[in-house]
Amino acid sequence: MTYFESKTGPSDYQYLYAPGHQTEDLYLCYCGSQNCPRDHSFGPAARDEYLIHFLTSGKGFYQIQGREYPISRGQAFLAPPHVPTYYYADFDFPYSYVWIAFNGKQVPSYLEKTSLSLHHPVCDLNFPVERIQEIVSDILQLRRRTLSSELACIGYLYEILSLLTIDAASSAAEPVSPDCLPETYVKHAVQFIEHSYASISVSDIVDYVGVNRSYLYTIFKKELHMSPQKYLVSFKLSKAGEMLLDTELSIAEIASRTGYNDSLNFSKAFKKHFGCSPSQYRTAHHIK
């Protein structure tokens, strides 16, 4: 008789590793749960399997492919195979989560039916995250590694994928409406801009929030009295102004850090926004 490899540390950490597998379409690799401290971080790291974290409390940040996403309770984030990822807890409200890693020939086709993908690695859950906690907890109770226990793990995996698939289908079926909590969409968009402004476009914001471009424009005009593009540019230039005052970085470096590849274009945009050039702005505030 062989056993799953399990680990229990303090009451805030549990882990189970399932070496080998007797099935090909779908199989468990490992899973666990953790109440993370405020200084928690993991990565950058790439894995050979698919890994999904489900946040059960708190909040933090997830980095993948040069972008950073705010994450919080009731959301899930995907780490696809062979893609470096990094995540860390919010210092004041550190997250807790459960995670499950899996692989198999059919996984790509299964995930296509969910809201999670490489280009949309974070999603809101429209079902209670406590159900995922229960599933992972049940898996963690398994000790003996038999065909029956492996099949039980696969059953749990199918239930998780079923919940994510139903969730995605339900979200897609709901018509986008100006009456559908526009302030929530704007809040998520603003959070995304604040943490990824240097490397995103309006199309990225649209993809992240999950609404169409014209609706995003409408609710931004309603809530913030400006377009998403204008808000993004304004935020970038405000950050540039802070860097001019608070650092000794060159104008070219500040341009690059705020998403401008061309210093001349940056200077033109900055002057249009502030009424003076970056160098004049810095000089006027006596920063050398």
Per-residue pLDDT at 89 exceeds 90: yes
Q: 125 versus 170: which is more confidently predicted?
A: 125
The CA distance from 33 to 98, in Å, is 4
CATH of domain 2-173: 2.60.120.280
pLDDT by residue (tens digit) across 59-71? 999 999 988 999 9
Per-residue pLDDT at 3 exceeds 90: no
Per-residue pLDDT at 198 exceeds 60: yes
Find the mean pLDDT for residues 244-248: 88
Kindly tell me the sign of the dihedral angle through the C-alpha atoms of 119, 229, 236, 223.
negative
Find the mean pLDDT for residues 197-213: 86
Is 235 within 8 Å of 193 (Cβ atoms)?
Answer: yes
Domain ranges of the chain: 2-173, 182-284
HSE of 148 in the Cβ direction (CA atoms, 13 Å)? 4
pLDDT at 52: 97
Find the mean pLDDT for residues 67-82: 94
pLDDT at 166: 80
pLDDT tier at 180, thresholds 50, 70, 90: low
pLDDT by residue (tens digit) across 25-45? 999 999 999 999 999 999 999
Per-residue pLDDT at 80 exceeds 70: yes
pLDDT by residue (tens digit) across 256-283? 999 998 899 999 999 999 999 999 999 8
Contacts of 165 (CB under 8 A, 6+ apart): 110, 113, 114
CATH of domain 182-284: 1.10.10.60
